Structure 1
Amino acid sequence: MTVDTNVVIIGAGPAGLTAARRLSELDIEYTLISREDRPGAYKACGGYVPGRVLDEFGLNQIPDAHDVRSIRMKFPGLEMKRVDFDQPVGVNVNRENLGKALLGKIEGDPGEIWLETECGLIESSSDGCIVRYTKENESGLISSNLIIDASGANPVSLRFNPVRNRPTNSQIGYAVQYQMKTKRSLDIVNDFFYGSEFSPRGYAWNFPRGHETVLGTGGIIDTIRTSEKRTTTYLDNLVENTDPTTNELQNAGYEIVQREAALMPLAGIVSPSYGKRIMLAGDAACQCSPITGEGIHYSMSGGQKAAEVAIECVRKKDFTDKALSRYENSWTKAFGSDLKWGLWLQKRFLESGSSSMGSTFLRSDKSTRVIAEMLAGARTVRSAILAAAPGYLVSKIRRA
């Protein structure tokens, strides 16, 4: 079977579903294909959604969302610091529930969403795009004017029509996490742990959701490969030997119900993110914070901006690289600074060590709150660095 449409979206994560929502709002035909049967159900993710996402995209009704009002941070040589906020700074959610909420925001009928559909060969030329797919043991073709590839950290389009090289192992993170259930409810306090005790020169996290929590750790792939410890050893240490986490989990009666892993693009701004009638969005475009690993906000914003450029291209019947370049200009203007300075901060952590960087940025209650706001997504990375860094660093940053 051959299907004709204006835009093919590959992937039903935050980027893909947000792109579909925007195309639907402006009555542009599309077909979204995803191998998942339930969006987000199998995605390894901490599940923290910053408050700015809820406001910007109208997602205040995510099922079973837990308000986050407190952040704790642990750096080597320093006591754990806790920062409380008067209002929620975000929510912790199950990724499948987030997927349901995003799917529910897609209204109208200009598009089709095909779940449990495998994407095969992708071809693009000056005449258009062809996507081969397999659904329910039947194969077919979709012809389109454009493709929005939101298929994850290893985007499927790079296998056939690469618009750029894949990021190197020094630019990709690897994370493992435990999905846990507890007999008694946990306080909703999001924890961030930095230092070699908790990760292979990355960081670890604990994001509770009432009777559930997600405990994870990770680092840059190159660093993990040279580490003497298995990555899960860091998690086991958090569970068994690190208070207050150990004490809180034991008192709540915890059980590990699932072990999972995922890749995270931590490369900062990677160009180009478009070409040959294809736009990369979300993890496929490395739209992920290099310092926190948070990608939901950036993915949704990237997906929306890809859709808006697609709409303009369809209406003008202009699918050239010059027309698509508006996409990269748009998303880098919107949040490229966060990725740029997040990468800057990440490299300082790796080069200087978490201990020295922790004492540099957490030297006062004011700077501690600033860093907590950044980790919660309530403050941009650059503004956090300018507000919390010593004067000699601030002068360098202002000149950059």
Structure 2
Amino acid sequence: MNETLYDAVVVGGGPAGATAATELALAGHSVLLMERGGRIKPCGGAVPPRMLEDFAIPQSLLVARARSARMIAPSGRAVDMPVGEIGYVGMVDREDFDEWLRVRASECGADRLAATFEKIERDEYAHPLVTFRRERGGPIERVRARVVVGADGARSAVAKQCLPNAERVKCVFAYHEIIASPDSDGEDFDANRCDVFYQGKLSPDFYAWVFPHGKTASIGVGSANKGFSLRGAVTEMRSELDLSHCETIRREGAPIPLKPLKRWDNGADVIVAGDAAGIVAPASGEGIYYAMVGGRFSAEAASDFLKTGEAKALKTARRRFMKEHGRVFWILGMMQYFWYSSDKRRERFVDMCDDKDVQQLTWQAYMNKKLVRKKPMAHVKIFLKDTAHLLGLRPASS
């Protein structure tokens, strides 16, 4: 056995993979972080302040701080949701943010490798071989790992090979264009506001967005409808918002999973994290914070496995994540299933967003990443209002 042996090989260098590599290296393990490079995931880039605190992310990586969100209904009615005094929505550009995370992993002791993962092979020796190519058409190379962490995104090659039914994960396909921000703010664009469009013409089953990134902005849309033109929807949105003249800096598209996999490990020596584990929030599509949490949990589970040799330790990552965030994911999934199904329901959903109780609890849940329990009567009021909307007892835009 003459291949290099690592305690852990992490496949994928996004927020989940880079976080996992950092945590494993800090725990004293030998780590290889494999990232193919040259690709940036389409992402609005929104992060809660809690993420900066939980993962020691410097404020300097924020390219903007949004102080409000605007929800736009099919009728064009706009509802502003100011964050208020409880915080802000941080905005990052994934090109710089992801690279900073990879550099930190390297500084913590992980080896970096620019390569494309091929597959996991097994032979007569105990530990699997991770095969890769440094360049397209180049020779196959191999390293051996005691544990493999698959953080290679939605429709993960690691997950497809090692986990049952991973290829069946349902995804929304996201597309966005990074443009130069307008020279000045106006009614249709505000550098301190995130705009979310709940309009069937822009997305039949998800939403479209305009997110400020300081000198740039992300204009994007998501949909699981394969026949729907995402690029056409972005073109239409830019035209309607008078953003067509803004320079287009780059275009990106990728699938985004909206349901956690039922298993994150193979019961032996492979575990997944981030999009590869399906942990992107339904309804909102928020993934950066959850990817980093999942990366940390998977790394801690992998570290326990490396220290004890007990493969059952790998199961703790999913168990911990679902205990902490599973209920929120379930609620968001139900919300997406119901409210995004027609323009009539989208109109009522935006109408609900005009309620101050809804706004307050929404922002508190976003900032804290958990359901708010401190104001039970507010929840009762929202439940009654939601029921009225569901039954059609309360007219939209009232």
1:362 CA displacement: 2.7
**1:148 to partner: Cα distance:** 0.6
Call closer, same or farther: CA 1:292–1:387 in 2, change over 3 Å. farther
The root-mean-square deviation of aligned C-alpha atoms, in Å, is: 2.8
SS in 1 for 2:128: strand
Equivalence map 1:63-82=2 (5 Å)? 63=61, 65-77=63-75, 79-82=77-80
Relative distance call for 1:190 and 1:80 in structure 2 (3 A) is same
- Selected match of 1:304 from 283, 296, 299: 296
Cα contact 2:69–2:80 (8 A) shared by 1: yes
Distance change >3 Å, CA 316–CA 378, structure 1 → 2: closer
Partner of 1:54: 52
Following superposition, the deviation at residue 379 of structure 1 comes to 5.2
Distance in 2, matches of 1:178 and 1:107, equals: 30
CA separation in 2, counterparts of 1:63 and 1:87?
20
Query: 2: distance between equivalents of 1:72 and 1:373?
Result: 17
SS in 2 for 1:160: helix
Tell me what 1:397 maps to.
none
Query: Offset at 1:234?
Result: 2.0
Q: Return the alpha-carbon distance in structure 1 between the equivalents of residues 27 and 171 of structure 2.
A: 35
Q: Which blocks of at least 5 consecutive residues in structure 2 are unaligned?
A: 186-190, 388-398
Letter of the 1:6 partner, please give it.
D
Deviations 1:253-294 (A, max 9, x none): 622233321111012x32011114211100000010111111
Check if 1:391 corresponds to 2:384.
yes
Residue 199 of structure 1 deviates from its aligned partner by 1.3
CA distance in 1, matches of 2:254, 2:77: 30
Q: Secondary structure at the match of 2:284?
A: coil
Change (3 A) 1:122 1:207: same
Residues 96-245 of structure 1: matches in 2 within 5 Å? 96-106=95-105, 110-115=109-114, 117-123=115-121, 127-135=126-134, 137-168=138-169, 171-182=170-181, 184=183, 186=185, 187-220=191-224, 224-227=225-228, 230-241=229-240
- Cα gap change, 1:350/1:334 in structure 2, threshold over 3 Å: closer, same or farther? same
> Residues of 1 paired with 2:368 and 2:348: CA distance?
21
Q: Note the C-alpha offset of 1:138.
A: 4.5
Using a 3 Å threshold, how does the CA distance of structure 1 residues 345 and 207 change in structure 2: closer, same or farther?
A: same
Q: Which residue of 1 aligns with 2:269?
A: 277
Q: CA deviation at 1:76?
A: 2.9
CA contact (8 A) 1:362 1:388 kept: no
Instruction: State the SS of the aligned residue for 1:200.
Output: coil
- Equivalent pair of 1:6/1:29 in contact (CA under 8 Å): yes
Shift in alpha-carbon separation, 1:357–1:124, aligned structure 2, 3 A: farther
- Are the counterparts in 1 of residues 163 and 265 from structure 2 also a CA contact under 8 Å? no
Given that residues 185 and 210 in structure 1 are in contact (C-alpha distance below 8 angstroms), is that contact kept between their aligned partners in structure 2?
Answer: no
Deviation of 1:77 (Å) = 4.0
Deviation at 1:183, TM superposition (A): 5.4
- By how many angstroms is 1:53 displaced? 0.9
1:307 to partner: Cα distance:
0.6
Seen in structure 2, the aligned counterparts of structure 1 residues 78 and 138 have a Cα distance that, compared at 3 Å, is: closer
Q: Summarize the Cα distance change of 1:254–1:372 in structure 2 as closer, same or farther, 3 Å threshold.
A: farther
* Preserved CA contact (<8 Å) 1:147 1:279: yes
Q: After superposition, what is the alpha-carbon deviation per residue over 1:19-76, rounded to whole angstroms, capped at 9, x for unaligned?
A: 0111121111111111116xxx522221122211111111124435211211111123
Indicate whether 1:365 and 2:356 are aligned.
Answer: yes
Matches of 2:129 and 2:315, distance apart in 1: 21
Q: What one-letter code is carried by the residue in structure 1 that aligns with 2:265? A: Y
| SS of residue paired to 1:21 | helix
**Residue 325 of structure 1 pairs with residue 315 of structure 2:** yes
Which residues of structure 1 form unaligned runs of 5+? 395-400
Over 3 Å counting, the alpha-carbon distance change for 1:325 and 1:183 in structure 2 is closer
Partner of 1:23: 24
Match of 1:344 among 334, 340, 344: 334
> How far off is 1:347 after superposition?
0.7
Corresponding residue SS for 1:274: coil
For 1:259, give the aligned amino acid: R
Change (3 A) 1:97 1:226: closer
Q: 2:251 aligns with which of 259, 271, 279?
A: 259
Give, in angstroms, the shift of residue 159 of structure 1: 4.2
Query: Does the 8 Å contact 1:341/1:382 carry over to 2?
Result: no
- The number of residues matched between the two structures is 372
**Contact 2:62–2:90 (CA<8 Å) still a contact in 1?**
no
Deviation at 1:18, TM superposition (A): 0.2
Cα displacement (A) at 1:303: 0.5
Aligned identity (percent) is 23
Would the aligned equivalents of 1:31 and 1:112 in 2 still touch at CA under 8 Å? yes
Opposite residue 361 of structure 1, the aligned amino acid is: M
Deviations 1:89-110 (A, max 9, x none): 2321211211133134336564
Q: Is the 8 A contact 2:26 2:108 kept in 1?
A: no
Pair 1:43 & 2:47 matched: no
Letter matched to residue 21 of structure 1 = T
Contact 1:20–1:106 under 8 Å retained in 2 = yes
Aligned equivalents of 1:185, 1:22: Cα separation in 2: 42
Q: Which amino acid aligns with 2:384?
A: G
Q: SS where residue 314 of structure 2 aligns?
A: helix
Deviation at 1:179, TM superposition (A): 1.2
